[in-house]
Structure formats: C-alpha cells, structure tokens
Amino acid sequence: MIAELGLAALWLAAALAALQLAASVLSLRAGEGGETLGGVIRPTAILQGGVAALSFVLLMWLFIRTDLSVKLVAMNSHSAKPMIFKLAGTWGNHEGSMLLWVTVMALAGALIAAIERRLPEATMRATLGAQAFVGLGFYAFLLFSSNPFERLPRPVPEGMGLNPLLQDIGLAFHPPTLYFGYVGLSVAFSFAVGALLTRQVTPDFARAMRPWVLGAWVFLTIGITAGSYWAYYELGWGGWWFWDPVENASLMPWLAATALLHSASVLAARDALRAWTIMLGVIAFSMSMVGTFLVRSGILTSVHAFAVDPERGSFILALLAINIGGALALFGWRAGSIAEGERFALVSREGALVVNNVLLSAILGVVLLGTLYPLVTEAFDVRVSVGPPYFNPVSAIFALPMLAVMALGPLLRWRQDAVRRVRRPALLAAGLAVAGAVIAWLIAGPAGLLPTLGVALAVAVGIASLLPLRGRRLTRTPLPIWGMVLAHLGIAVSLLGMASESAWSQERLAALAPGESAEVGPWRVTLTKVVPVAGPNWTAIEGDMDARYQSGSPIPIAPQARSFWSPSQTTTESALVTRWNGQLYAVIGEAVGDGRWQVRLWWKPLVTLIWIGGLLIALGGVLALIGRVLGDLKRRSVLAKRLRWRGEQPV
C-alpha cells in the first residue's frame, strides 16, 4: 500500500509541476493581464514541494521497514543492516537518489515561492516556470524509466544488501549533501533563465540569486570535503583525491558555482558582468547534470560507477539536450540585448574578480577536458588514461596565479585602484611566503616544485586573507566580510595540508608478527595481536597495535579488514591517530605466512588541514549566507515599517 501511495504522490507532484509550468507560460504570455494565473504559481510550487517530499518519505519508510516486496528495497537493503544504513540505502542506489534529486528540486522551488520577494513578479514567474520545466524532465525520467516503487511479482525472503563501501557513517550522508548542492544550483539556473526571459538582469537580481548560490555552494563544499575524507580513510591507501571521473563530476559544479558566486558579487555591487553571470548560472547547473549523466550512463569508467545503463544514459542525455541546449539557445538569442553594464579598470576589485573568474573557468575547462578526453579517443579506438600526473600540474598552471590574485583582490577598491596602494601588504605576504617555504624546507626537508609553491602561496594567501579585517572593529564587521575572510583562509589552510601531504608523507609497508614493530616518520608501531571481530553484518580481522610518537606513551589502535557477506566484499577500516601536526594511518592486510601480517603505515604531516580547510570554506559560506539573509530581513522590515508609516499595505 505504501509503495502505491508513494508512486501516486510522485505522479501528483509531476502533475503539479506541469500545472506550475503551464500557469507560468500562460501568465507570461498574458503579460500584465496574467495576474490570476500568476497567483496560482506560488501555491502550486509549494504544494509540489510538499507532495514530492511525501513521496520520498514514503520510500524511506519502505527502507526502514525493509519491505522486500518492493524491488528497490530487495535489491539494495538487507534486514540485518543497522538502521542508519537502511535509511542511507534509500539514496544509495540509482532510483532512490533520483527521487531525492527531484525532491530537493521541488523543495527548492517551494522555498523560492515561499520566501523570495526581491525579484520582479514577472521574473519570479518565469523562474518558477523554468524550475518546473527542469523538474518535469526528471519526474518523467523517474516515472518512465526508473520507478523506485516498483513491486516484485512476489516478495523475496531476504534483500541483497547495500554495497559495503557505502556502509559507513561518513558516506551515508555524503550523497545527500552533494545532491543538495547539485540541485540547489538548479535555482541559479532557473533564475538565469527567468532573467533572460524577462531581460531583467539587474543588481537586485544578483542579490536575490546570491543566497541560493551560497547555500548550494556550502553543501557542495561540505559534500566534496566529506567525500574526500571518506575516500581517504576507507580505501586504505591514504589517497584523498584521485581525479576519478565521479570526483571530477562534483568538482566541476563547485568550480562553476565558486565563479558564479564571485561574478554575482560584482553584478550586485557594481552592475557589471551581466551576461557573464547569467552564463555561469546556466553552466553551474549544467555541470551538475553533465556530471550525473557521465556517472549514470556508464559512459566513463570510474571506481564509483553505479547503475550503469545505456538506456538511462539516453534519457538523461535527452534531458541535458533540452535543458542545457534550451538555456544556451536562449542565451544566444537574448544575451545580446542585455547591456554590458558598468565598466571598470583592471586594477580594481572587479578586475581581480574577473581575473579569478577567468582562471576558475580555465581550471573548470582543464578538468572537463581531462575527464572527457579518454572518451574522445575511445571513438577512434585508442585508449588513454588521464590521471593525477596530468591534472595536478596543468590545473596548477591556472590555480597558482589565481591564488595570488585571490590574496590581493579583497584589498583592492571597487572600480579603480592603484597598485602602489596594495604594494606594502603584497610585499609583506610575498616575504612571508618565501620565509614559510624556507622554514618548511628546513624543518621537513626538501620538496618538489609544486608542493614548495603550494606552501609559499598558502602562507601568502593565509596572511592576506586576514588583511581585510585590518582597521575594522571586529564586532561590527559585517558577516559577509567574515565569511569571505574565513573562506579564503580555508583555501590557504587546505592548500597547506595538500602541499605538506604530497611532499612529506612517509610510507612503511611491513610484514609483522605479533610483538614486532615498524617505524614510520616519528612513529613506532608495535603489533600486539591479531584477533577476529564480528559486527552485525560483517566479520573482521583486527590488528591490535600500539603506536608511540617519538618517546610518548603508547596509543592503542585497531585497524580492521572487514568482510561483509551480503553482498560479499571486503573493506579496509584504517586506524587513524590524529595529532596537531598530522596523522598516523594504519592498515592491517593479509596474512603472509609464518605468522606474519601485512601492515601498512603512513605518517602524513598536516594532512588534516585539507579537510579543516574545506570546513572553514563551508563555514565562511554559512556566515556569508546568514549575513545576506539577515540583511534582507532587516531591509524588508524597514521597508514594511516605512510603508505602514505611510498608511499603505506592506508588500
């Protein structure tokens, strides 16, 4: 019964989306006379969000109850699974994650309809129409080719289980976080399309769009950070970024959204970069959809590939063609009639932001090219591999100058400024950067070119990121400024971690019998015993070890090699010891005979900074978002007061 209810809710939500789209089109056509029709749009959008959410909650309920008469549950769940992973199983598969996708999309539409008051009414209607249009495509995809509520002819006695790699608390919440980010960008997309339709690309439009982009960007940042940390501790070899197609698929929307965030700031503050901002709004969500397509169609090989199915691929490709193609055609048709906006000098805040936008877009281009390139050569029957040795140096060519500009940009004034005004802070940052690199070499030993430049730039960016606070009263500094400072500082922190990890990590592979020890960096690790351990749906071999930092007291650690039986697969559960200056990473492997066990150890100096930096970036985004929303509320209440004072009705 619940499955049928869920399916009915899904159909109803789709019908509401169709209604929303029709009302929007008709009211825009009727122009000023479309008031009645226009009035339908907001309530419909809100209702659609509610009904879609109901459908998703019902699917979750099926997973919680492990209803094995539903195909999706039988294929992806198991009664012996811990509750948290039953729940996570809802989105740990193709159909469920697509349902989450449309649900988030519908909820975003509902939220716009409920709270957005800044946009002109016509743009608002066009925006909600665009949101409904994109949503309809995904409803059709779900209903016609990926129905999550499909029943089995007869219930099965037991489910097949969830991929054990996904049975991890970090990963349980990683996909939904990323989805909130991907789909949140659909709002920017709809805003861009709406503004193109009504030709109202104004600073107010940018101010209205900015909080939505910020929100999506915060989720993306957290999602990527969490995903990277998960890969780090779960895959068992200490790598934290592999330039895998799926990782790239999440990085590309982030890069586009970052550029969009900054160009929207220029548009909001200075009424410049109108067409460019619109373009980025279209591109950011396009990257989300292209990423989803690449992962779901199985067109690229990836460690993460799931639900590989060419038919679904064709469906998503058709959606891409209609949505992105339509938006880009609209752009080609309309963007020419949007005036270019204000001008500015190269040496100015806008100038720096433009340089960063261009360089961010170039990095996006590099990632896109490197991800798609193997696909291109495959068409000519040549198979090539593009990996870290390509992505790292080539993206660094653009990233390093971008970071340098990022350090100085916030110190420049809007419109026009002089280089000599920022010469002193620039020299200070540069001097400290050189000093930082030299000190790092002295303490930790020589490093390659990229890590050395990374350390130097991290120091420079870190120092420079704090400078905008100079001369301000910290308690009265606006939240968005705090947000910028924290986010930029986060970039520096993360960069320092990356550089340090890649330059000074130490690896030790050993075959130890109980009682023997191995050394890695400043650590000495002793294997005390190897014991079997049983979990709810797995068994494991656990290596009990004592880790000693220099002459410190021993810290017990217990890495495991887990064997799940449904589906049958092994995972490594690495053991980590975190200190302020880095992490010890320990893995227990196979028995190698004569009572010895493989032990893999790494000492990774400052590695945690990578993710701390990521969280700082996200925190910066949150602060900026709060600042913007509070500012908007204050503005609204002032406006309302003023209207009341004049004896009029508030809008």
Partner 1 sequence: MTKSWRLWLPLAVFAAFLGFTAYQLQQPKDDTIASAMLGKPLPRFALRPAVDGLPGAAQTDFADGKPRLLNIWASWCLPCIAEAPQLKALQEQGVEIVGIAIRDRPEDVARFLAQHGNPYTRLGADDLSEVQFALGSSGVPETFVVDGNGVIRHQHIGDIRAGDVPKLLARLEEAR
Partner 2 sequence: MSRLNRIWLLAAAALSLGAPLCAQQSLPPAPYAYRQLPDPAQERAAHELMQTLRCLTCQSQSIADSDAPMAGDMRHQVRTRIAAGEDPEAIRAWLIERYGDYVSYTPHVSATTWPLYAGPAVLALIAALLFRRRLARRA
Which chain residues interact with partner 2 by CB under 8 A?
235-237, 239, 242, 244-245, 301-303, 305, 343-346, 351, 354-355, 358-359, 361-362, 365-366, 369-370, 373, 376-377, 380, 382-390, 394, 397-398, 507-509, 511, 531-532, 539-541, 561, 563-565, 568-570, 572, 589-593, 598, 600
Tell me which H or E stretch contains 603: strand 596-605
Query: What contacts 550, CB < 8 A, 6 or more positions away?
Result: 522
C-beta closer to partner 2: residue 61 or 390: 390
Contacted entry of partner 1, partner 2, none for residue 431, CB cut-off 5 to 8 Å set by kind: none
Residue 649 binds which one of partner 1, partner 2, none, with CB within 5 to 8 A depending on kind?
none
Taking the complex as a whole, how short is the minimal distance between the CB of residue 162 and partner 1, in angstroms? 24
- Of 618, 630, 490, the C-alpha closest to 177 is 618
Q: Which of residues 524-553 bind partner 1 (CB under 8 A)?
A: none
- State which of residues 155, 239, 310, 556 lies at the interface with partner 1 (CB under 8 A): 310
- Kindly state whether residue 305 participates in binding partner 1, applying the rule CB under 8 A: no
Contact 96, 72 (CB under 8 A): yes
Q: Is 307 a binder of partner 1 (CB under 8 A)?
A: no
Backbone angles phi, psi at 69, to 5 degrees: -90, -10
The residue among 226, 244, 72 whose CA lies nearest residue 142 is 72
| Rounded Cα gap, residues 350 and 269, in angstroms | 9
Given 57, 329, 630, 639, the residue binding partner 1 (CB under 8 A): 329
Contact between 328 and partner 1 by CB under 8 A: the answer reads: yes
Question: For partner 1, which residue of 317, 430, 444, 576 counts as binding (CB under 8 A)?
Answer: 317
Tell me how many residues contact partner 1 (CB under 8 A).
34
- Rounded Cα distance between 250 and 54, Å, is 27
Residue 592 touches which of partner 1, partner 2, none (Cβ within 5-8 Å per kind): partner 2
Q: Is 69 within 8 Å of 153 (Cβ atoms)?
A: no
- The amino acid that residue 186 corresponds to is S
For residues 478 and 627, the answer to whether their CB atoms sit within 8 Å is: yes
In whole angstroms, how close is the CB of 330 to partner 1 at the nearest point? Answer: 9
**Residue 565 interacts with which of partner 1, partner 2, none, CB < 5 to 8 Å by class:** partner 2
* Binding status of residue 592 toward partner 1 by CB under 8 A: no
- Is residue 31 a contact point for partner 1 (CB under 8 A)? no
**d(Cα 349, Cα 362) in Å, to the nearest integer?**
20
Kindly give the residue spans of alpha helices, DSSP state H, lying in 423-478.
423-444, 449-466
d(CA 112, CA 96) in angstroms, rounded, equals: 24
By CB under 8 A, which span of 208-216, 263-271, 329-337, 462-470 interacts with partner 1?
Answer: 329-337
In the structure encoding, which two tokens stand for residue 442, read together? 């002295």
Closest to 38 measured CA to CA, from 154, 159, 119: 119
Half-sphere exposure of 599 (CA within 13 A, CB side): 36
Convert residues 371-410 into a mask of x (bound to partner 1 by CB under 8 A) and - (unbound).
-x--xx-xx---x---------------------------
CB distance 288 to 185 below 8 Å:
yes
Binding site for partner 1 (CB under 8 A): 275, 279, 282-283, 286, 290, 293, 297-299, 301, 310, 313-314, 317, 320-321, 324-325, 328-329, 331-332, 335-337, 339-340, 372, 375-376, 378-379, 383
